[in-house]
A and B are shown apart, each in its own frame.
Chain A
């Protein structure tokens, strides 16, 4: 490749990166009023100390479908199904479907395990961390059907809610679960 071509390609690449970066922002605008405010950020990853801070994520009334997966880096079946959620996000990123991966990793593992894991996998889906350890106070607010075992996934659109306390065996089963 000669250098001239490179000078053309670099700006195009930069623009495409910038614009693809803006796409989730468009989606965010519709949720802007109530998108949960993080307690803090760790290398760009939003951390929620209390469930109440995150609660609006499970209550949006816009016409977006939210696919919210609860996982942790030490949970093998969780890790195995994460690629299906990523594929779902990639396939539907231009539609009103938002995939959110809620990490339940322990506070002491955020820097030692979670950040390196995220660094390695570079998820395109929204990733956030919920640290609230008063599980008995909030599990029922996600779903009364949830015993607390992970992996677990909530898929909802307005009032229509489906809860899955199991891992998805493949991508097709996950996609078929969309409303």
Chain B
């Protein structure tokens, strides 16, 4: 009986605790492992993700993104370009869709496949079906980039560039700059940036 009460209280507490974005992986820390389904039906983890040449990557451009958020949509072409440029250089784009499709039907697995086909996605587009990966990373919104090095250490976290809303206004390409810094054995600067995005949809 005591046990039941304890768990009931715990569940009640958890249910009413607002979701806080704090926590997650910090710069310099090891990024959490995952094993998620790609739109081609195959499962992908750090064990089998390769770069565009089929080699073990020198880094990973992990990006939480989705079909439905206007900010995410505004960055789809930029993700394709990143994969085109940096996939062959050892830095594949790994997109992860974190929204709960029951709350956002436009982000269902089928809709992800359709969107990827329509836009000719050249990168992995994985679904965080259990919604267990994005909280471990500390992702709060789409789009949101986590740039890892070959040892899966987080080196940069934030926006792709300084004009998330429209590509024409881009002055600084944060992710590209960070990759160049890693390639030159330097610390990326800045290591974190912020941008407006759509809060990740999770049932309360």
Is B28's beta carbon under 8 Å from chain A? Answer: no
Pair B70/A136 contact, Cβ less than 8 Å: no
Decide yes or no: A136 and B159 within 8 Å by CB, A148-B195, A149-B140, A150-B199 being known contacts: yes
Pair A165/B158 contact, Cβ less than 8 Å: no
Q: How far is the CB of A134 from chain B (nearest CB, A)?
A: 6
- Bound: A77/B195 CA distance, A: 18
Q: Mark A63-74, 1 if CB is under 8 A from B, else 0.
A: 000000010101
Pair B21/A149 contact, Cβ less than 8 Å: yes
Which bucket holds chain B's interface residue count? 20 to 34
Pair B199/A77 contact, Cβ less than 8 Å: yes
Pair A166/B165 contact, Cβ less than 8 Å: no
Q: How far is the CB of A108 from chain B (nearest CB, A)?
A: 9
- Bound: A106/B164 CA distance, A: 11
Decide yes or no: A140 and B194 within 8 Å by CB, A133-B169, A166-B18 being known contacts: yes
Pair B195/A135 contact, Cβ less than 8 Å: yes
B198: A residues at CB distance < 8 A = 75, 149-150
Q: How far is the CB of A86 from chain B (nearest CB, A)?
A: 21
A147 and chain B: residue at smallest CB distance = B140
CB contact between A165 and one of B140, B164, B165 (< 8 Å): that residue? B140
A131 and chain B: residue at smallest CB distance = B165
- Bound: A151/B21 CA distance, A: 13
Q: Mark B12-30, 1 if CB is under 8 A from A, else 0.
A: 0000001111100000000
Decide yes or no: A139 and B199 within 8 Å by CB, A149-B140, A149-B141 being known contacts: no
B192 and chain A: residue at smallest CB distance = A136
Pair A74/B70 contact, Cβ less than 8 Å: yes
B20 and chain A: residue at smallest CB distance = A165
- Bound: A139/B144 CA distance, A: 15
CB within 8 Å of B: which residues of A? 70, 72, 74-77, 104, 106, 133-136, 139-140, 145-151, 164-167, 169
> Which 10 A-B residue pairings sit nearest by Cβ, starting from the closest?
A149-B141, A149-B199, A139-B194, A147-B140, A135-B195, A136-B193, A149-B140, A133-B165, A148-B194, A147-B21
CB within 8 Å of A: which residues of B? 18-22, 70, 104, 140-141, 144, 158-159, 162-166, 169, 193-201, 204
Apart from A133-B169, A166-B19, what 15 extra A-B contacts exist at CB < 8 Å?
Answer: A75-B199, A134-B163, A135-B164, A135-B194, A135-B195, A136-B193, A136-B195, A147-B140, A148-B140, A148-B195, A148-B196, A149-B200, A150-B198, A166-B199, A169-B204
What are 17 A-B interface contacts by the 8 Å CB criterion? A72-B70, A134-B163, A135-B194, A136-B162, A136-B193, A139-B194, A147-B21, A147-B144, A147-B197, A148-B141, A148-B194, A148-B195, A149-B199, A150-B196, A150-B198, A165-B140, A167-B199
